[in-house]
Chain A
C-alpha cells in the first residue's frame, strides 16, 4: 500500500486510489464539482487542484493515482491561487442569479465561491445563454447555470443505465442535453438533481417552493416499494415538501427512485381527514365516536369467522400487530396481508426474504430472475444488479416478461415451461448457474401471485438448491417484494390462522355472504367488486379504491405521518420517525385500532407506542430480531409441489410504475410521469 504525505500527515492508502481520496483519508477536504465517489472519473472541473512536490504544475487530484512517497500540499498559496483561477473561469459564464435559483443555500458552487471566488468579476463580455432543455416532468433545467461537470451524463450512463444524456456541441457551444428533446426514461432520474453541483438541474415539482434553511428534516423510511430506502423527509409546517435520499451503503447507497422522491405531493391530495359513514348509499362526514359506534353495531353478536381483515402494502408493523390482536379478540382468524394473492409460504422466514441482501448482490456471480422486472418493482435494487453486471462475469437469466432491465440478460422463456427446463436440466443456462460459486435466484411477485404460485415458489427453491445457491455460508434464494409492509406483516404473522381464510377465501366469503365485515387496513389493491354485500371498514389515508367501497372510513396516517416500523424485502427492520402530523382528524393507525377495540368492547392491553412495539416484537419473535444475511440452514423447501406448474406466462405485476400505491395515484407529478412515459395509453386510461 503506497504511503504518502499530505500536508505533513502521513497516510497509507490502497494502491489505485486517487490523490483526492488520499487527501480525504488525511482529513483534508478537497473542493470538487465533477468528482463523485460513485461515478467514473472525468477530471474536467479542475477544482480539486493540489500541489505535488517535484511536479511542475498543480495536479487534478481526482484523476491522479497515488504513488509511494508522494508529498502533497493542499493549503499552499499556490494551490489557493490555482483554485481561485479555476473558480474565476467557472464563473465566467455562470449567471449571478442565486436569489432566484432553487439550489441557493445548498449549492456546491455557491459554497465554494465563498472560499475561492473573487468579490468582483474581471469580465465585461456577455455571459453565454443556453436554451433550457425539457427533460420531463421531474427535472427542471436552467442550462445557463451548467458548469459542464457531466455528473448527470455519467449517472445516466453508468448508474441508471439509460444513455440518454450527453454533451453535444463543442467549446463555448457545448451543451448538456438529450440532443433530441425527450423526457428521460429512467426511474432514477431524480438523483441527478442531487448530483448536480449547481442549479442547472433542480426539482420541477419543488420549484420555488422553499429554501433549505426553512425545512425541518426527519429521517424516514420509504414505503413506496419494498427496498426500504433510507430517506430524509423535508417538511415545513404540515406539509412534506420534498424527500431526499439518506446514505445507507447496505440498502440504497445514495440513490432513491423517482416514485420515492416525487410522490410526496400525493400526500396532500385526496386525503381522508375525517371519519365517514355510509348512509343510504352515500358517505357522510362523521365523528370518531359515530364511526366506532357504526362498526360496533355491526360487529355486535357477529361470529368471529364472519369477520375478516386485509392489510395493504404500505402499512407499518405496529398497526398490523394491533389489528391482528383486535381480530383475534373478535375471534377471527380471517386475516391476510397478501392482497395480490401471492402464494407465499411463511412457515420459514427465508422462504419470503431477499436472503442474499441487497449489498450481497455484489458478491453474487450468476443470477436467475423469475417472473420479475426489478427495474419496475425495486428500481434501486435494480441499480445494484446493474452495478454488479457492469463489474463483469455476471450471467443473468430471465424467466418472464422480457423488458429493458438496463443490463444484458438471457431470456429463457416467458413462463413455467422455462422453469421446467431448468428443473429437468435441459436448459443451457443451467451451466452458467451451476458453474457459479455464488448464484442467486430472484423470484418476483408476478410469479407467485397466481393459482400455481406455490408450485412456482417450490420450483424456484428447488432450482436454487440444485445450482448450489443454498449453502451454509451463502443464501441465494431471494424473493423480491413490492410492498413495503409485506415482510413485516409476514413476520408478525398477519396471516390466516386457526383455520381462517386467506385473501381468496375472504373475497369468496364476502362475495357469497359468509363474511359480513371486512376491515381493510390500507388495502386498495384488491378487486373491490368481489366484496359483495359485506360491511367494509376502510382504514387508510387516501380516498382510493378502498374508501370508495367503504361503509365506514377511519382516516389514518400515511407513512411519513407516523412513528412506524417497516421491514424491507431483505428483512431489514427499520424504524421511521414522524415528519408531519396526519391531516385533520386523521390519527396514527395503531391508535385508531386501539380506540376501536375499546369501542368494540375488546380493549387491547397497550396504550402507547412502546406497548404496541413490545407486542409486535413478541409476535415477530425469532423473525424481527433475526440477523440479516447468513447462509441457508435447512435446505427443505416450501410446501408447494414443483411438478404442479401451470402453463400461463408470468405477467409483470407493475404495469404503471409511477402509480402503484394510493399516494402515487393521488400525486399529480406521478400522473405527469405516467403520461410522459406512455402518452397514448395513459390518456386512454384517464
Chain B
C-alpha cells in the first residue's frame, strides 16, 4: 500500500473496551460545548485526539483502537462508521498500534535533499529494522515516513510525540534516539544550536547597528521623491 498510516480497513487487535477517564470526560464535554446544539459531531476530531492521548497515558502508545472510536461515536451520538471515516482519513489518527515513541520522518524533497535518508536509517536501526508500520520488539519505537511537515527551513525533520526535532543528520538522530531510550526529554527544535529558523551560520542581515534616522520636524514638508 502507498499509505500505511490511514488503512481503510479495521485493525482487529486492541483493547476490548475503552472509556474516558473522569478528567478526560470533563474535558470532552467542554469540547462538545463549543459547538451548537445538534452539531455535537463537530467535536469528533478533538475527542479522537483526546482518546489517543489517554491511550498514551494508559498504555504508553499514542494510537486509536476501535474501542476508542466506538466510545467517541457513542458520546457524540454518531454512527460508528462516521467516526471510522474521520479517523481513517486523517493521518494523525493512528488506527494501528505504534511504539512508545512513534518516529515520523519527513522524506519529502527538502528534507530528503538535506539528508533525511540518514535520519530514516537511524530511526529504522533503533526500531530493530522492523517493517515500517510495526512496532519494535521492545515496544519502544515504530517508524513512519511522512509527507511534508511544513518545517522545510529546518530540514530534515523528525516528529516524535508533540515535538519536531530539526536540523538533524544521522549522528544527531542517533543521539536523540539514545536519549529517548533513556527516558529523557531531549530539547526539541533545531539540534545544531541554531535559534529556531534563523540562518544556520548566524545572522546574515541586520549584522550591524543601523545608522540613526535623521531627525525631521513634524511640520516639515516631505522631501520630493527622486526623479520629480
Residues of A that sit less than 8 Å from B by CB: 131, 157, 163-175, 177-181
Contact = CB atoms under 8 A, between A and B. Distances in A.
Contacts of B10: 179-181
Contacts of A157: 79
B7 A166 contact: no
Contacts of A174: 8
A177 B2 contact: no
B1 A166 contact: no
A168 B82 contact: no
Contact of A173 (B1, B80, B82): B1
B99 to A, nearest CB: 22
Contacts, number: 61
Nearest to A133: B9
A176 B77 CA distance: 22
19 contacts: A157-B79, A164-B79, A164-B81, A166-B82, A167-B85, A168-B85, A169-B89, A170-B88, A172-B2, A172-B3, A173-B2, A173-B7, A173-B8, A177-B8, A179-B80, A179-B84, A179-B85, A180-B66, A180-B80
Contacts of B31: none
For the complex of A and B, list the 9 residue pairs with the smallest distance between their C-beta atoms, beginning with the closest.
A169-B8, A163-B79, A175-B8, A166-B81, A179-B84, A168-B88, A168-B8, A173-B3, A166-B85
A671 to B, nearest CB: 28
B40 interface: no
Contacts of A167: 85
B6 interface: yes
A22 B91 CA distance: 41
B6 A179 contact: no
Nearest to A156: B81
B88 A179 contact: yes
Contact of B81 (A163, A169, A172, A181): A163
A175 B79 contact: no
A179 B2 contact: no
Interface in B76-98: 79-82, 84-85, 88-91
Given A164-B79, A166-B81, A177 B9 contact: yes
Nearest to B81: A166
A178 B84 CA distance: 9
Contact of B84 (A166, A170, A173): A166
Contacts of A177: 8-9
Interface of B: 1-3, 6-10, 66, 79-82, 84-85, 88-91
Contacts of A175: 8-9
Looking at chain B's contact residues, the main secondary structure is: loop
A404 to B, nearest CB: 12
Nearest to A174: B8
A173 B5 CA distance: 10
Contacts of B89: 168-170
B209 to A, nearest CB: 52
Contacts of B8: 168-169, 173-175, 177, 179
A172 B5 CA distance: 12
Nearest to A164: B81
A163 B2 CA distance: 28
Given A163-B82, A166-B82, A180-B84, 6 more contacts: A173-B1, A173-B2, A173-B8, A175-B8, A177-B8, A181-B9
A172 B7 CA distance: 11
Contacts of B84: 166, 168, 179-180
Interface core residue of B1, B9, B66, B82 (most chain A CB under 10 Å): B9
Nearest to B2: A172
Contacts of B80: 179-180
A166 B69 CA distance: 15
Nearest to A179: B84
A157 B85 CA distance: 14
A163 B79 CA distance: 6
Contacts of B66: 180
A157 B82 CA distance: 10
A131 B1 CA distance: 12
Contact of B9 (A170, A171, A179): A179
A149 to B, nearest CB: 16
A166 B85 CA distance: 6
Contact of B3 (A163, A171, A181): A171
A179 B6 CA distance: 12
A169 B79 contact: no
Nearest to B4: A173
- In this complex, which of A163, A166, A172 has the most chain B Cβ atoms within 10 angstroms of its Cβ? A166
Contacts of B7: 169, 173
Kindly name the residue among A167, A177, A178, A180 whose own CB sees the greatest number of chain B CB atoms within 10 A. Answer: A180
